Amino acid sequence: MNKFFVITWLLFSVCFSSMSLASDYEAEGPHIQVRLLAEHSGLKPGSVQTLAIEMRPDPEWHTYWLNPGDSGEPPAIQWQSSEAITFGDILWPVPAPIPVAHLVNYGYSNAHLLMVPITVPNTLTVGEVVTLTADLTWLVCKEDCIPGSAQLRLSLPVTAELAKSVHADLFEQARKDLPHEVTLQGTLEINRDNIAISFNAPSGYAASPERWTVLPFRGDVIDHAAPQSQVSSEGKISLAIPKSDYFPSKLNQARFLVKQGNKGFYLDVSQANVDESNVENSSRHSSLTLSQLLLLAAMAFVGGLILNIMPCVLPVISIKAMALNQEASSRIQQIAYLVGVLLCFNLFALTVIVLQQSGEQLGWGFHMQSPSVIILLAFLFTFIALILWDVFTVGTTMSDIGETLVTGHSAKSHFFTGLLAVVVASPCTAPFMASALGVAMVSDTLTTLVIFNALAVGFALPMTLLFMSSNIRGWLPKPGAWMQTFKHLLAFPMLATVAWLCWVYAGQQGNQAQFILLVCLVVFAMCGYLLAQLKTLGKIVCGCVMLACVLAPISLYSSTNIDKLAPTSAQAFDPDLLQRLRSKNDIVLVNMTADWCITCKVNEQVALTTQQVKLALDAENVHYMVGDWTNRNQQILEYLQQYDRAGVPLYVVYAGSNKGRVLPQILTPGLVVDALTTAKQELNNVN
């Protein structure tokens, strides 16, 4: 009897203790159940394992993501353990936007796991039992919210091998609900009223027509409840979203979660350039890595060396070499020539930089991506090839002056020799300087300086070595007819460059445009040839034809550009025309856009090029005017300033001479059509 009692008591206590353990790892609050689960039934020393808090809100109730949206609060976990276990951050499953009246929250309306990776130290001994405690607080809401908290405890034995627990399947499932491991990279654009983000669709999603939803990590970036305009073209997704009321004054990068259905990706976006108006420069001043810079410098250095064996340079150097005294010259005398050359090249580089910078302010920024720059470079290199072939005869007087100048032995004479060598040798150096100029125009200041200095050092090196040691003289090749051949051969690398440029151009503008460019290049070369043969009048005609050849493809490019931008009957922005149309009591929609403005592109695709808007714009007395701010221009700047804007997009609808109505920065077809209809009514009321 006594024995029976003891056994019963033991059994009872075992049951009781296991029950108390069971109730320890789970808890219940109003409208929610929570559990602390482990993927494995034990802890293995030195391993990384996963724990999870299971949140199971009642139907229609929800808990929150790390950014709760307009209201609410994410769950928080404070971990403790009897051993030195390291707890990682919560791995949040992909959340969903949950609308509440006109506000939006981000969270989970069904059971989900908040998984947490833990690192088990090596020092644990098998057989030991470790207690893990999670102090959990949460907020569970339907429309009303109820905060809750629980202390959840789990005891796990330390085991040599890992065995799956009964909950392992839940973990397996939960991993499928996590955002993808690959973090996407994108660009961020900040406008007055909205932000626009742009990213390449992850592989497998490029063709999907389904829309993306953007959820921000920070609570102060976007208006959570606002509709998100989206366009995708060739796998690039762009979204324009109204800014949060709490948008920070400085924001260069931000993290988002972008989701399509249940699939989510983290997306890091950064501003291409902090100043919106400089966005165009960023594509041009593509920062070079050190190795790229060194390669460019090496190429320029070799170019400088080659300059020395040009027909109008080598004879000069040779004469100098012959005339040099055997007696040692001072160090100053030795480097004076180098200093002279460096000074001259740097002066030239500075001129280029100043021109480039002031040109930027004038709005004619060059960027390599721009087809018009590609065209200009193609003509430039063709022109250089023509010079190398001696198609244009350049007077030899300059090199004669050079020969007289280089005689003399003082440091001063060497210095001026260096300074002037560049200038006097210009018939031969010009092609190189022109190439360097071309590169400098599309590079940043540092690259320009590096290139010019490497070129200068290469150019000055043989002479400087000569000054230092006359033994070098023996190394110099003898001047002769081969120099001409070499010069002529150099034209081919130039033409190869032209071929490459034409290929780039075809990629941008298509085969037909490339054909036109090629024809223009051929005509240009032919006229160049004729120019040298003909008399005064013929020369003028040829010169004009050559100019026309350069301008034709450029103007063709810009007109196709407008077509691409505005498939409706759009007119280019012109303040005078706008004034005339308004005084005629017509309706005008002005669209200020730029190629680099993501929001503008989104609006053009989502709203302005839709059938609905096109019909409204094609109506009688309605005009559509497009200002292209891609390359800044004074007229557009003045117009933007009228509306206190520093950048695009800007949309204004005018009803005759009435004050224009500024449309929001994010357009919908309905909004544009309504604005045009209202303008029409306004006019009818007046008449």
Partner 1 sequence: MSIKTLLGACCALLISAQVFASAKVGSTAPNFTLKDSHGNTVTLSDFAGKHVVLEWTNHQCPYVVKHYGSDNMQSLQRDYTSQDVVWLSIISSAPGKQGHVSADKANALTSSRGAAPTHVLFDPEGTVGKQYAAKTTPHMYIIDPQGVLQYAGAIDSIKSTNPKDIPKAVNYVTAGMMALEKGLSPDPDLTIPYGCSIKYKS
- Min separation Cβ 227 and partner 1, Å: 16
Nearer to partner 1, 24 or 70 (CB): 70
**Residue appearing with tokens 């005078």:** 576
- Min separation Cβ 587 and partner 1, Å: 15
| CA-CA-CA-CA dihedral for 213, 217, 220, 223, to nearest 10 | 10
H or E element at residue 421 = helix 411-424
- Min separation Cβ 258 and partner 1, Å: 22
Give yes or no for a contact between 6 and 131, defined as CB atoms under 8 angstroms apart.
no
- Min separation Cβ 249 and partner 1, Å: 10
Nearer to partner 1, 629 or 651 (CB): 651
Nearer to partner 1, 73 or 444 (CB): 73
Nearer to partner 1, 60 or 275 (CB): 60
Q: Is 346 exposed, middle or buried (0-12, 13-18, 19+ CB in 10 A)?
A: middle
- Min separation Cβ 247 and partner 1, Å: 9
Give yes or no for a contact between 311 and 487, defined as CB atoms under 8 angstroms apart.
yes
- Min separation Cβ 30 and partner 1, Å: 11
Give yes or no for a contact between 14 and 40, defined as CB atoms under 8 angstroms apart.
no
- Min separation Cβ 457 and partner 1, Å: 55
- Residues 6+ away with beta carbon under 8 Å from 255: 216, 217, 218, 266, 267, 268, 269
Give yes or no for a contact between 595 and 564, defined as CB atoms under 8 angstroms apart.
no
- Min separation Cβ 101 and partner 1, Å: 4
- Min separation Cβ 422 and partner 1, Å: 59
Nearer to partner 1, 219 or 669 (CB): 219
Nearer to partner 1, 242 or 528 (CB): 242
- Residues 6+ away with beta carbon under 8 Å from 510: none
Closest alpha carbon to 247 in 193, 197, 199, 198: 193
Nearer to partner 1, 146 or 423 (CB): 146
Cross-strand partners of 214: 258
Nearer to partner 1, 633 or 658 (CB): 658
Q: Which residues bind partner 1 (CB under 8 A)?
A: 70-73, 100-103, 105, 137, 139, 141, 143-147, 219-220, 245-246, 681-682, 685-686
Count other C-beta atoms under 10 Å from residue 507's C-beta: 12
CA distance 244 to 251: 12
Report H helices in 510-535: 511-533
CA distance 583 to 145: 59
Cross-strand partners of 256: 216, 267
Nearer to partner 1, 134 or 466 (CB): 134
